[in-house]
Structure 1
């Protein structure tokens, strides 16, 4: 994954929806993390497209803090989307240090 710890100070190449931004505290490691801000009508999702090798097992891990925080993967056959989001009307979610290996 690219910029999996948000250490560039930017969310790129992650795609953000809602009020999500890169922050400097709290963090799990390094100096930046991603804050996802859900609203009453949005989960505040951030995602990144990743190409994987077919017929290979992968494990997604991340440090996530906040209520109703979700990480996951959609897609298959080599092209997947890794996502993180909160839940409608809940508090902010902070995510850092994604790995997919």
Structure 2
């Protein structure tokens, strides 16, 4: 009795197979896509966006009322605000930020009614205050909206109240290191089209106060 004949598997037509070059190109494109995705997800570094936050250098940068004066004590840098009935002795500085990002403001203050705060283009508003007569620290956080690119950091006293002192203030979060002139360096694309890098400003130099 003869064994049943085995059926041979059908040969695959060359038309069913992708060309070798096309397969290699597809794999290369996939690898390139993964690399691009990894590069674009790299976060910006966390930096201090305030210029002259220790009040020890020129250019001064801060925009202040006329009743805010720097300390004249050598090697002891801070500013003193003298509020009046018409002025709360305010100083402010505008910083460039990233949308949908969280920033932390830290300040060292002294005196009654010493306020620090942040306001923004999309209604961002955060503030803190202290009434202690000795040096102490204030801290707050603010998160930017989806279209916010600028925030204003400010500090002040309160109308007709005693003088206050501001010793140091910082505003830390993702961004580019600001130039000595106060406006953050503009990102410029690299020659290879990769991630942006800051462009230094050659026209402004900081002079430190002794």
Q: TM-score range by the shorter chain?
A: 0.7 to 0.9
Q: Which has the higher helix share?
A: 2
Instruction: Give me the TM-score of the superposition, normalised by structure 2.
Output: 0.43
1:16-55 to 2 correspondence within 5 Å?
A: 16-24=64-72, 31-55=76-100
2-structure distance, mates of 1:64, 1:24: 17
Please tell me whether residue 87 in structure 1 is matched to residue 158 in structure 2: yes
Corresponding position of 1:68: 113
Say which of 58, 62, 70 aligns to 1:14: 62
1-structure distance, mates of 2:87, 2:60: 20
2-structure distance, mates of 1:59, 1:82: 11
2-structure distance, mates of 1:80, 1:40: 27
Higher relative contact order (CA 8 A, sep 6+): 1
Show CA shifts across 1:33-91 (max 9, x none): 01111112210101111111221111101001111111000114120111000000001
8 Å CA contact 1:18, 1:43 repeated in 2: no
4+ residue runs over 6 A deviation: none
2-structure distance, mates of 1:66, 1:45: 15
Show CA shifts across 1:7-41 (max 9, x none): 11x5810001141011045xxxx621011111122
8 Å CA contact 1:18, 1:42 repeated in 2: no
Corresponding position of 1:2: 51
Say which of 165, 168, 172 aligns to 1:97: 168
Worse-matched range after superposition: 69-78 or 10-19:
10-19
Unaligned 5+ segments in structure 1 are none
